[in-house]
Amino acid sequence: MNDESKPLSRRLVPYWLMGPGLIWLVLFFVIPLYFMLRLSLESGTLETGFEFTWDWANYSDGWDRYSEQFFRSFLYAGTATVIALIIAYPLAYAIAFRGGRWKNALLFAVVAPFFTTYLIRTIAWTTILSDDGVVVDVLKTFGILGENGKVLATPSAVIAGITYNFLPFMVLPIYASLERLDPRLIEAAKDLYSSSRAAFVKVTLPLSAPGIVAGTLLTFIPAAGDYINATFLGSTNTSMVGNAIQSLYLSLRDYPTAAAMSFILMAVILIIVLIYIRFAGSEALMGDEEEAT
Amino acid sequence: MSLRGITKRFGEFTAVDDIDLDIKEGEFFTLLGPSGCGKTTTLRMIAGFEEPNAGQILVAGSDVAGLPAHKRPTNTVFQSYALFPHLTVRDNVAYGLKRKRVGKDEISKRVDEELQRVGLAAEANRKPNQLSGGQQQRVALARAVVNLPKVLLLDEPLGALDLKLRKGLQLELKRIQQEIGITFVYVTHDQEEALTMSDRIAVMNRGIVEQVAEPVEVYERPATTFVAGFIGVSNLMPGVVRSLSGDKAEVELEAGVTVSAEANGLATGEQCHAVVRPEKLFVAKKGEVAPQQGADAQSVDGVVASSVYLGTATQLVVELRGGSRMTVLCPNTDESERQSLPGGGAEVSLSWTPEHIHLVRESDSERATADHEALGMDRSAAA
């Protein structure tokens, strides 16, 4: 049946259903975005007032002054994402395939940290990683850290904090994709001469790829713009672009540059994500193998 | 291929109990039985997905028990097909050959051949979810057969398809089996399917094999009451062996007559059941013998309990003295004949030719079933 044959009111139903979401997006995303874009092209100071002047220099200035922070942001976010993936995949796998009747309890344990606010959790980490804390003690005992070594206020602390805070966003999508996987497919792979390892690489991994992609995006995107972890667990030498934008807004009151920086951040994330999805969606990751011999 | 003393226990429950089977090369061998009889467990042990608690599995002379599934010379067609959803039809079929490191050219040649054989050459580049159930089934078959296994294991491969498609694929499966000459071990609970396709059938119940024989044998001369009941309609008349003369036994039936039939190893005084298949029974008015019957016909009296029109035949259920119910199929070849069939409540005489009566023992497993049920044991664990 084609659409024309339905009465108009019926054809409008999908749009009505989309309505509230669309209005929300326009009010709280598109319109603010427009004002931010405008702001990023204004010049002046808080005292003299800002004026719209197509001041593209905000972008180049911002990039020049804070390129170090940009670089650091993506380095930290990328590292944290990779570490989170390495921790999350086996965890999700174990819950999905070996969880048995403990499945729900284990999933709850993954989500449990969310019952405390982000800020409190991160501040708690300052205690864990403090110079006289247990982590530093253990690392010193094993000689991994020197006598005057510290963890807090180092890049490691920031990356560890980000990894911890975003881990559930990695675990849950991977778990969801593994949970859906029919165990008979793994049996079929073994029946067709795959060892356990080959069955994992050729069947389990490609079929959980959507979960991996979702998890890495959910971790990487907010991590790249994060400033809480760098604020509490880092030092001035580990500040990320989020910190730069925060101080431009709240301390230096240089709104146009702050807005320009936000747009640069958004654009860079968008480009990275598009490239990533392009790669992730390609045959290479989906297991359409050309035997690598 | 042979199974020697194969036993599989899941906790307290014995799924497969000391089974011995010899399957000939190139044979279409069916494991037939109700759900929970151990047929799928047996198949999974041959494939290597379950390890037997005891016994040997000999494939082409060597014991494969203990080998992981991927090192066994068997391939499986799964009930749910278990096609890889992320791979195309072609890559699904090529999967096993790639793992075996077969050369690229040969892979593509054999995959093409196999897709041709199952009639899916045009669908080679589709994903499994773009195919119908019947097509997916063919892919599953091609994916297994292309590896030319020593033994192909099929776990209710047609179970998810509708009747018409199933009938067509039964014949096609049989054709493919004859064409490639691989040993098929086929698991099903559908007796008709088993009779249609198999060279030999092993009827299983409660973890043991009740009978291994050719389809005709299983149907015409069932070994036990369970086999008689599971294959076809259960037309059993209980009785006791009164005397033996040569290989004939005189059996006094509860229904009130004494008949003579092949003894089948029964002893004097032993309880047994007499089986006559529904299409071998003839019905006539009480005291008469159906006109089709010869002088040596045996007969027994009863009362018609129900009469159902089935299209090609009319099915009468006749209750005998002692309570056993016999199903009679009267072919609807002649309309006036059909109209003259006795209705419900009529007193009739059932007759059969002596060669069509067959004596069976009570199944050991039937007795076990009765015991288990008496003890209130959970049989669903068997599934």
Domain ranges for chain B: 2-220, 233-360
Q: What is the pTM of this model?
A: 0.82
Query: Which residue in chain A is spatially nearest to B78 when comparing CA positions?
Result: A188
Domain with A90 in it: what CATH number? 1.10.3720.10
Identity of the residue numbered B232: G
Q: Does a structural domain hold residue A17?
A: no
Residue B56 has pLDDT above 90, yes or no: yes
Cβ B76–A286 below 8 Å, yes or no? no
The domain defined by B233-360 carries CATH number 3.40.50.620:
no
d(CA A243, CA A235): 11
CA of B90 to nearest chain A CA: how many angstroms apart?
11
- Terminal Cα-to-Cα distance of chain A (whole angstroms): 51
ipTM of this complex: 0.82
- Domain B2-220 carries which CATH code? 3.40.50.300
Specify the pLDDT at position A3.
Answer: 55
Interface test with A, best of B86, B143, B147 (most A CBs within 10 A): B86
Which chain A residues contact residue B99 at CB under 8 A? 192-194, 198
Of A113-122, A144-153, B168-177, the poorest mean pLDDT is in: A144-153
Q: Does a structural domain hold residue A42?
A: no
Which residues form the domain of A230?
A: 67-280
Number of structural domains in chain A: 1
CA of A196 to nearest chain B CA: how many angstroms apart?
9
pLDDT band at A289 (very low <50, low <70, confident <90, very high): very low
- Sequence-distant (6+) residues with CB within 8 A of A198 are A189, B70, B99
Spell out a b/e string for A223-250, using b for 16 or more CB atoms within 10 Å of the CB, else e: bbbbbbbbbbbbeeebbbbbbbbbebbe
Which chain A residues contact residue B147 at CB under 8 A? 192-193
> Would an 8 Å CB–CB cutoff place B99 in contact with chain A?
yes
pLDDT band at B336 (very low <50, low <70, confident <90, very high): confident
Q: 3-state DSSP call for residue A5?
A: helix
Virtual CA dihedral for A133, A135, A137, A141, nearest 10 degrees? 180
> Would an 8 Å CB–CB cutoff place A288 in contact with chain B?
yes
Tell me whether the CATH fold assigned to B2-220 matches the one assigned to B233-360: no
CA of B212 to nearest chain A CA: how many angstroms apart?
27
Specify the pLDDT at position B365.
Answer: 54
> Can you read off the two tokens belonging to residue A171?
């675990």
DSSP H helix total and E strand total for chain B = 10, 20
> Can you read off the two tokens belonging to residue A106?
């284990």
- Sequence-distant (6+) residues with CB within 8 A of A69 are A239, A240, A241, A243, A244
- Average pLDDT value over all residues in chain B: 89
> Mean pLDDT, to the nearest integer, of B232-243?
88
Position with higher pLDDT, A32 vs A51: A32
Specify the pLDDT at position B382.
Answer: 39
pLDDT band at A283 (very low <50, low <70, confident <90, very high): very low
- Cβ proximity of A43 and A269 under 8 Å: no
Query: Percentage of chain B surpassing pLDDT 70?
Result: 95
Place of tokens 């015409």: B220
pLDDT band at A106 (very low <50, low <70, confident <90, very high): very high
Q: Does a structural domain hold residue A133?
A: yes
If you ran DSSP here, which 8-state letter would residue B362 be given?
Answer: P
**Three-state DSSP string of B80-130:** CCCCCCCCCHHHHHHHHHHHCCCCHHHHHHHHHHHHHHCCCHHHCCCCHHH
pLDDT band at B383 (very low <50, low <70, confident <90, very high): very low
- Cβ proximity of A249 and A255 under 8 Å: yes
If you ran DSSP here, which 8-state letter would residue B15 be given?
Answer: E
> Would an 8 Å CB–CB cutoff place B69 in contact with chain A?
yes
Specify the pLDDT at position A290.
Answer: 39
- Cβ proximity of B317 and B359 under 8 Å: no
- Average pLDDT value over all residues in chain A: 90
Residue A288 has pLDDT above 80, yes or no: no
Residue B282 has pLDDT above 80, yes or no: yes
Q: Comparing C-alpha atoms, which of B280, B368, B379 is closest to residue B328?
A: B280
Q: Over the stretch B122-156, which tens digit does the pLDDT of each residue have? A: 999 999 999 999 999 999 999 999 999 999 999 99
Which chain A residues contact residue B98 at CB under 8 A? 289, 291
Q: Does a structural domain hold residue A10?
A: no
- Sequence-distant (6+) residues with CB within 8 A of B262 are B247, B248, B249, B358, B359
> Would an 8 Å CB–CB cutoff place A195 in contact with chain B?
yes
Of A209-223, B15-29, B96-110, B238-252, the poorest mean pLDDT is in: B238-252
